[in-house]
Amino acid sequence: MGRALDLDVFSVWTISANLGLIEKYVWAGAHIWRHYDLGCLQEIGNRTCARISVMKDKNHATTSLLKRILVNCSAQAKQYGSCVSSRVPEVERDMCLKEFLLLKSCMQNVEEKLSNMIGEASSSGHSCFSGSNALSHVYIQYPPLRCHIPGSRRLFYDDGNKLILSLTSNQVFSWKTAPYNPYAAPSSDPISEGPVLSIRYSLDLKLLAIQRSSHEIQIWNKETGDTFSQKCRPESESILGFFWTDCPTCDIVFVKTSGLELFSCNAARSLHLVETKKLNISWFIYTHESRLVLLASGMQCKSFTGYQLSSAGIVRLPRFEMVMAKSEANDKPILAAEDVHIITVYGRIYCLQFDRVAMLLHSYRFYRDAVVPQGSLPIYSNRIAVSVVDNILLVHQVEAKVVIIYDIFADSQAPISAPLPLLLRGFSRANAASSQITLRNSGASESKDLSDTEVTIYGEQWNFLVPDLVCDVSNGFLWKINVDLEAISASSSEVPLILEFLQRRKLEADKARHLCLGIVRTIILERNPVPMVSRAIDILLTAYSHAIKTGSYYKRIIAEETSASGASNVSRPSAVVNESIGVDASGKFSRQEPESGTENESYRSDLRTSDSDGSLKMNSQNPDQPIGTTERGYLLEPDAAGAEVLPTGESRSPGPSNNQLNSNASERHQPQVTASAAASPADLYGSVFAPVDEEMGGDGSYLTAILVEFLRSASLEKLKVDPNIYVLMAQILGRDERYAELGLFVMNKIIEPSREVALQLLESGRQNLQIRKLGLGMLRQLSLHHDYVLLLVQDGYYLEALRYARKHQVNTVRPSLFLEAAHSSKDPLHVAVVLRFFLISFLALRAPPITTCTIALLLR
């Protein structure tokens, strides 16, 4: 029933989208032909309703909100069918047959899609979740990391060191999960026999702490082999758990029912009590990513006290209470630890609380001296899980077996896309066999193979780990959760929103950049309104300007050049020469340098000190700041991988001048994300404007208007425009014989002067003398004397070219060109003048010598 339910969710979204399209055709003024089938539209609407009812009846036992959604959609489908048929007589007089057939075909597609989806519902669950062509925005990729050891008792996750741990009776095996490598081999350490409630390595991997019971924690020194224990008073308190920290005052924290105990490890490798924080604790949650521990207390466990223990010190959050709705029986529900999640998104720390009564996911954001509610998200399942991939919040509706995607940075609580199932990709019998061979060759642990195991998505023993891992305990698999940006962008019709979403991506920045360019190219080819295209260009250029100022764009360029340097050693000298003048081997500008390093450094400094909430300003419209941000102080924000990447050599160091905490000191050895999804003006020319010009052709007025909007946006952001864009604009205007506009654009500096533009004006000026004069004037304005003299000679004005060359001391043009031009004029006097000019120049050693063969040829 669970799998049929998730298909129904997808059906609701698909049907709603198609019915919305039908409504658009009817109410947007489409006119229906008088020869219509009056009962056709009503019948299709009723069939749609019946199909939805069939799917609804399959899940008659469920009482979740999804059932109500299906019922509402069923009624809406019948209403649409009746509405369409009732509107037919009113507009039948003016509609053409083509429009009627289009509308009829659109409505029939609804029925066909319903039939296809019902057919898919009868297929096996394995094919649904494993098919590479299935619809999905979130997926796990085969093969997984196999962390099953024969005789292992339990799996643990050490988030401080990003290790997955498997325990046997006398050994602990560990696999590194960051960076994720499914073929990683484990390392092992011996441990003594006994019960294990929790186990974690110290951040330097020299100590291993094992919680043996609720009253004892045992610590083993790997270097010396010594073991010592720390116990509590069993009659008055018990140990709830522990964690290692990079706080300068302590190394390990014990969480007890009576409060926190902070210990440091001295030279003798024994624990020394540093501080005790007394308070009653029912349970706690901690993530090393945020360095934040939340301590629950009270009858309903909804009162919380928080501490952040990072390399900057200890910060105590104010006590706060979470919102919990009352049940119908007026019972007081108790908040469980699995209903509270700490996440780090865009460098900000949030807490998500699942209210099972209200079926809402409440969000709270942490500041140094305040905890501010951020709103609530609807929940459609009694069991949920939370993941964060590339700063994207994934809410897993476990019972419905679908994932809902949110982007907290956007000023909206609406999901990015429709809820779709979590998919297993890349699995096949051949891949499974090759994976087993690779595992045996690498020495990694062998576990159950997927071909011998039933893959159950969202199984009962699936444990979701911070931030983007899921452990299948029953099979010993560790999966990494991925997001399909291409599928998300293809399913969204909100162009500005999806562009802003893609520009904020870091893990797959190159793919995001290409998707953005493809979206802009598509909306231009579809001839969408110019304001829509202008808005899309504004988003890309604003993101590019921000990337330039923060230095993240240059990091991407350096990374690309480093990866390509080994394959381009032969052409490297030419590339270096071209780079010095700002163009690549093809003549296109490959990179743009900042106007001054001082300006960029000052901007970065302002970004760190003036942004009170630490949010990234990647789009022109920032989300609203929470109330009281500037009054209450800075956020508790870690310098995590999801946060903004600083330029090389810069770091956020704690101190009096910077209140933002640094909680990623222990992870600095890991490679940081330095890519940027920003698209430069050169990218827009090469991937958007040039291909669009080739495909559209014909009337260039639409593309010219878009190019003008691009220049406006680039001017606002003070960006240097690729000269090829000016060339393209001049080419389009010349091709359309709009010489008056072209002249105005050049004279008013809308088209900036450059050598490439001047040559294009000369090309377009073959049919218009005024445009050619503008091209020649641009060459003189840019002091391109060689090109100017060469063009004069080619046009037959060789005497004028001689005078210009003598005035500006141009000695780079071959004399033979002048002599050949004079000879072709059949005027001996002109030949003598040119010859005398170069003979004098030769004697003065100011020009290249004239060869004897050239003189003999001319005097023949």
Share of the chain above pLDDT 70, in %: 64
Which stretches of 670-768 are DSSP H helices? 681-684, 690-696, 701-716, 723-735, 739-747, 755-764
With b for 16 or more beta-carbon neighbours within 10 A and e for fewer, the 442-469 pattern comes to eebbebeebeeeebbbbeeebebbbbbb
Of 102-111, 163-172, 511-520, 643-652, minimum mean pLDDT range: 643-652
- Inter-helix orientation angle 739-747/769-781, to 10°: 20
Helices and strands: H and E segment counts in the chain: 26, 30
Say if CB 640 and CB 344 are below 8 A apart.
Answer: yes
Report which of residues 197 and 114 the model is more confident about: 197
Question: DSSP letters along 418-464, please?
Answer: --B-EEEES--HHHHHHHHHHHHHHTPPP---GGGS---TT-TTEEE
pLDDT at 397 over 50: yes
pLDDT tens digits for range 743-775: 999 999 899 999 999 999 988 888 888 998 898
Cα–Cα distance list, 153 to 165, 237, 261, 299 (Å): 11, 28, 30, 34
Cα–Cα distance list, 663 to 152, 288, 845 (Å): 33, 8, 70
Overall average pLDDT of the 425-450 stretch: 57
- In this prediction, residue 658 carries a pLDDT of 38
Q: What is the dihedral of CA 772, 774, 780, 784, to 10 degrees?
A: -60
424: β partners: 140
Question: DSSP letters along 728-744, please?
Answer: HHHHHHHHTT-HHHHHH
Distance CA 114, CA 13 (A): 12
- In this prediction, residue 328 carries a pLDDT of 76
CB atoms within 10 A of CB 374: 16
Dihedrals φ, ψ of 28, to 5°? -80, 5
Overall average pLDDT of the 301-323 stretch: 94
Overall average pLDDT of the 49-54 stretch: 50
pLDDT at 482 over 50: yes
Distance CA 269, CA 199 (A): 18
Overall average pLDDT of the 673-701 stretch: 86
Cα–Cα distance list, 574 to 28, 568, 580, 783, 833 (Å): 58, 10, 10, 25, 40
Distance CA 772, CA 58 (A): 75
Query: What is the Cα 47 distance to its own chain's centre?
Result: 41
Dihedrals φ, ψ of 258, to 5°? -95, -5
Distance CA 710, CA 687 (A): 14
- In this prediction, residue 43 carries a pLDDT of 52
* Sign of the alpha-carbon dihedral angle for 203, 207, 213, 214: negative
Residue 117, judged by CB atoms within 10 A of its CB (0-12, 13-18, 19+), counts as: middle
Overall average pLDDT of the 69-80 stretch: 60
Q: What is the 3-state secondary structure (H, E, C) of 291-312?
A: CEEEEEECCCCCEEEEEEEECC
129: β partners: none
Distance CA 604, CA 417 (A): 34
- In this prediction, residue 819 carries a pLDDT of 72
Of 332-341, 711-720, 822-831, minimum mean pLDDT range: 822-831
Distance CA 185, CA 173 (A): 10
Say if CB 307 and CB 264 are below 8 A apart.
Answer: no
**């624990």: which residue's tokens?**
271
Distance CA 104, CA 293 (A): 59
Cα–Cα distance list, 160 to 114, 176, 201, 243, 352 (Å): 48, 11, 8, 8, 21
Distance CA 55, CA 48 (A): 11
Cα–Cα distance list, 514 to 415, 535, 679 (Å): 23, 18, 8
Distance CA 243, CA 260 (A): 11
Maximum mean pLDDT: which of 20-34, 220-234, 733-747: 733-747
Cα–Cα distance list, 618 to 413, 502, 538 (Å): 19, 11, 12
pLDDT tens digits for range 523-582: 999 999 999 999 999 999 999 999 998 887 776 666 555 555 544 443 333 322 233 323
Write the single-letter amino acid at 668: R
- In this prediction, residue 571 carries a pLDDT of 35
Distance CA 337, CA 353 (A): 10
Of 265-274, 604-613, 807-816, minimum mean pLDDT range: 604-613
Q: Report the alpha-carbon angle 843-845-846, nearest 5.
A: 115
Distance CA 308, CA 99 (A): 63
Maximum mean pLDDT: which of 395-399, 608-612, 832-836: 395-399
Residue 234 confidence class, pLDDT cut points 50, 70, 90: confident
Element (H, E) at 349: strand 348-355
- In this prediction, residue 717 carries a pLDDT of 93
Say if CB 662 and CB 639 are below 8 A apart.
Answer: yes
Half-sphere exposure of 591 (CA within 13 A, CB side): 19
Distance CA 106, CA 614 (A): 48
- In this prediction, residue 637 carries a pLDDT of 53
Of 132-146, 339-353, 382-396, 605-619, minimum mean pLDDT range: 605-619
Of 9-18, 174-183, 282-291, minimum mean pLDDT range: 9-18
Q: Considering only CA atoms, give the Rg of the chain.
A: 35
Residue 212 confidence class, pLDDT cut points 50, 70, 90: very high
- In this prediction, residue 304 carries a pLDDT of 97
- In this prediction, residue 856 carries a pLDDT of 53
Residue from 337, 294, 296, 287 nearest 317 by CA:
294
Mean predicted lDDT score pLDDT of the chain: 74
Residue from 380, 350, 385, 349 nearest 470 by CA:
385
Report which of residues 385 and 654 the model is more confident about: 385
Structure tokens at 749: 């500096």
The DSSP secondary-structure symbol of 665 reads G
- In this prediction, residue 567 carries a pLDDT of 43
Share of the chain above pLDDT 90, in %: 44
Q: Are strands 422-425 and 138-141 parallel, antiparallel or unpaired?
A: parallel
Cα–Cα distance list, 30 to 33, 40, 55, 90 (Å): 10, 17, 32, 11
Of 151-165, 295-309, 580-594, 841-855, minimum mean pLDDT range: 580-594
Distance CA 848, CA 859 (A): 20
Overall average pLDDT of the 343-348 stretch: 94
Element (H, E) at 178: none
Structure tokens at 279: 């308070």
pLDDT at 241 over 60: yes
400: β partners: none
The DSSP secondary-structure symbol of 329 reads T
- In this prediction, residue 448 carries a pLDDT of 56
Of 51-65, 339-353, 436-450, 812-826, minimum mean pLDDT range: 51-65
- In this prediction, residue 615 carries a pLDDT of 35
Element (H, E) at 95: none
